[in-house]
Amino acid sequence: MRHKWLTGLLCFFLTVPGFGQAVTSTQVFHVPISLSVFVPCAAGGAGELIDVSGPLHVVLSTTINGNNIRVTQSFNPQGVVGTGQTTGDTYHGTGITRLDVTASVNAFPTEFTFVNNFYMIGTTSTGGKLLIHETAHFTVDANGATTVNFDKPSVTCH
């Protein structure tokens, strides 16, 4: 008897407008970063370590709709500045990193995409410009078989 009551209550809530619809949650915040990045084209091509710090802007969003979930995350430096350990040259961090995941809450299918574009841009003629880029993706079909899987990183220095 108790189970029939709970089942009836659940069915009632699922048919009331607003229930059973997509639910989205978004958080926006800043994370302080502090790290060292090697820029091989810095110091006139000799390369140097750059001490980098500043705020990383983060946006996290999750949507659940029926049996599906979508998660989107983006990260981008805002006001991130670095100083060359050898030259004292100033560098600015910029770019965006994005992660997108779409999945069934039960099992499969699942799709995952990661794209990273991170730049360290020198402000002097000896500074140089570093681009770190990566694109990764995989897809798993409804039967659990991986149908796409690649990861393509690159580092370019100008």
DSSP characters over 37-52: EEETTTGGGT-EEEEE
Alpha helix ranges (H) inside the chain: 2-15
Q: What is the pLDDT of residue 107?
A: 80
Q: What is the pLDDT of residue 127?
A: 76
Q: Is residue 7 part of a domain?
A: no
Q: Is residue 3 part of a domain?
A: no
Q: How many domains does the chain have?
A: 1
Q: Is residue 106 part of a domain?
A: yes
Q: What is the pLDDT of residue 4?
A: 42
From CA 64, how far away is CA 46, in angstroms rounded? Answer: 50
Q: Is residue 40 part of a domain?
A: yes
**Residues of the chain under the 50 pLDDT cut:** 1-19
pTM of the model: 0.77
Kindly report the CA angle at 85 between 79 and 88, in degrees rounded to 5?
Answer: 70
From CA 102, how far away is CA 86, in angstroms rounded? Answer: 45
Q: What is the pLDDT of residue 20?
A: 59
Q: Do 47 and 40 touch, CB atoms closer than 8 A?
A: yes
From CA 13, how far away is CA 72, in angstroms rounded? Answer: 28
Q: Do 89 and 127 touch, CB atoms closer than 8 A?
A: yes
Q: What is the pLDDT of residue 60?
A: 97
Q: Is residue 149 part of a domain?
A: yes
Q: Which range of residues forms the domain containing residue 109?
A: 21-157
Nearest of 68, 60, 133 to residue 99 by alpha carbon: 60
DSSP 52-70: EEEEEEEEEEEEEETTEEE
- How confident is the model over 90-104, as pLDDT tens digits? 999 999 999 999 998
Q: Which two tokens stand for residue 138?
A: 């995989």
